[in-house]
């Protein structure tokens, strides 16, 4: 039965959400900004909610609307989140020679412990402990530990695009920076995730292989390349083959550096 003239049929929450998101899509298709699309959702939600609430002289209508309509606030957040994406982190593109030359500490290791906490400034940090299988450059050690930014502690999570976290059991080949910090307890992988090679299962069912994930990085060409373009460590090869390449590079670097 059609609604009576002068009456409005009440919509369910799902119908209201669908109508609101369609309005936002129309706004985006017309070239409006993400914020404009989000406010389109709010306007559509306001029309579905019936007459606006009475407002006091000291509170503007939009403030009253946001305070009294939590669904509208949720729709605004969803629209902004859907219309934008996390930007990649821009870093200098490091080739194999640069990774070896700039990293004082290159190891094949497995993460055996991690602990996240907040420092005195409220920054979330994670303390990692590794069992070292082989040190290919730097001081030999059976175990090593260092601190990196990021993690989750006390209900606060910090994610840095291009700087992956490590889980217990992760097997990695790491090109690390020199230690820094008040107690020289902090390190970072060279070029962020460029210096992190993960040991993972071979999709073909063979021996484990080595690969990187650079999806969250925007690589910028260096002004003075240390090696010809495309000169990178191989990926998709076995751990033994990859480590042979790293050892060869390290030996070449030591020969050029005078045996250091």
pLDDT per position as a tens digit, 133-144: 999 999 999 999
Q: Residue 3 half-sphere exposure, CB side, CA atoms within 13 Å?
A: 7
Burial of 28 per CB tally in 10 Å (0-12, 13-18, 19+): middle
Distance of CA 172 to the CA centre of its chain: 18
d(CA 104, CA 189): 11
Check residues 72 and 130 and name the one with the higher pLDDT. Answer: 130
pLDDT at 34 over 70: no
Spell out the residues 6+ positions from residue 245 whose beta carbon is closer than 8 angstroms to its own: 96, 233, 234
Largest CA distance in the chain: 92
Residues 163/134, Cβ–Cβ less than 8 Å: no
d(CA 74, CA 79): 9
Q: Specify the DSSP class assigned to residue 207.
A: S
Q: How do the residues of the chain divide into helix, strand and coil, expressed in percent and rounded to 5?
A: 30, 25, 40
Q: Which of 157, 164, 162 is nearest to 116 (CA)?
A: 157
Q: What are the φ and ψ backbone dihedral angles of 73, each rounded to 5 degrees? A: -65, -40
Give mean pLDDT, residues 92-106: 95
Check residues 257 and 23 and name the one with the higher pLDDT. Answer: 257
Give mean pLDDT, residues 210-229: 82
- pLDDT > 90 in the chain, percent: 58
Q: Specify the DSSP class assigned to residue 119.
A: -
Residues 123/93, Cβ–Cβ less than 8 Å: no
pLDDT in tens, 151-185: 999 999 999 999 999 999 999 999 999 999 988 99
Q: Give the model's pLDDT for residue 259.
A: 62
Q: Give the model's pLDDT for residue 257.
A: 85
pLDDT in tens, 66-82: 444 444 444 444 444 44
Give mean pLDDT, residues 232-257: 95
- Cα–Cα–Cα angle for 251, 254, 257, rounded to 5 degrees: 155
d(CA 143, CA 131): 5
Check residues 60 and 41 and name the one with the higher pLDDT. Answer: 60
Q: Specify the DSSP class assigned to residue 61.
A: H
pLDDT at 28 over 80: no
Q: Specify the DSSP class assigned to residue 194.
A: G
Give mean pLDDT, residues 39-51: 41
d(CA 252, CA 248): 6
- Cα–Cα–Cα angle for 195, 161, 82, rounded to 5 degrees: 150
Domains of the chain (ranges, CATH numbers) = 13-83 (no CATH), 89-256 (2.40.50.120)
Going along 102-227, which residue ranges are E strands?
105-118, 124-137, 143-149, 151-153, 156-158, 171-176, 196-200, 209-211, 217-220
């Amino acid at each position: 039965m059609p609604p009576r003239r002068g009456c409005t049929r009440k919509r369910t929450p799902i119908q209201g959400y669908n109508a609101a998101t369609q309005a936002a899509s129309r706004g985006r298709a017309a070239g409006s900004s993400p914020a404009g699309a989000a406010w389109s959702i709010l306007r559509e939600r306001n029309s579905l909610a019936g007459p606006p609430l009475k407002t006091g002289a000291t509170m503007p209508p939009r403030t009253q609307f946001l305070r009294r309509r939590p669904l509208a606030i949720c729709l605004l957040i969803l629209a902004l989140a859907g219309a934008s994406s996390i930007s990649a982190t821009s870093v200098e593109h490091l080739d194999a020679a640069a990774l070896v030359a700039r990293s004082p500490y290159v190891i094949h290791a497995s993460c055996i412990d991690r602990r996240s906490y907040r420092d005195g400034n409220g920054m979330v940090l994670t303390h990692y402990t590794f069992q070292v299988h082989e040190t290919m450059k730097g001081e030999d050690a059976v175990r090593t530990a260092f601190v990196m930014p990021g993690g989750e502690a006390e209900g606060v999570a910090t994610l840095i695009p291009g700087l992956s976290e490590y889980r217990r059991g992760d097997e990695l080949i790491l090109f690390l920076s020199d230690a820094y910090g008040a107690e020289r307890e902090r390190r970072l992988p060279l070029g962020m995730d460029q210096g992190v090679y993960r040991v993972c299962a071979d999709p073909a069912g063979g021996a484990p292989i080595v690969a990187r994930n650079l999806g969250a990085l925007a690589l910028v060409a260096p002004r003075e390349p240390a090696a010809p373009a495309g000169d990178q460590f191989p990926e998709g090869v076995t751990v033994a083959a990859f480590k042979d390449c790293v050892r060869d590079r390290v030996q070449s670097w030591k020969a050029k550096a005078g045996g250091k």
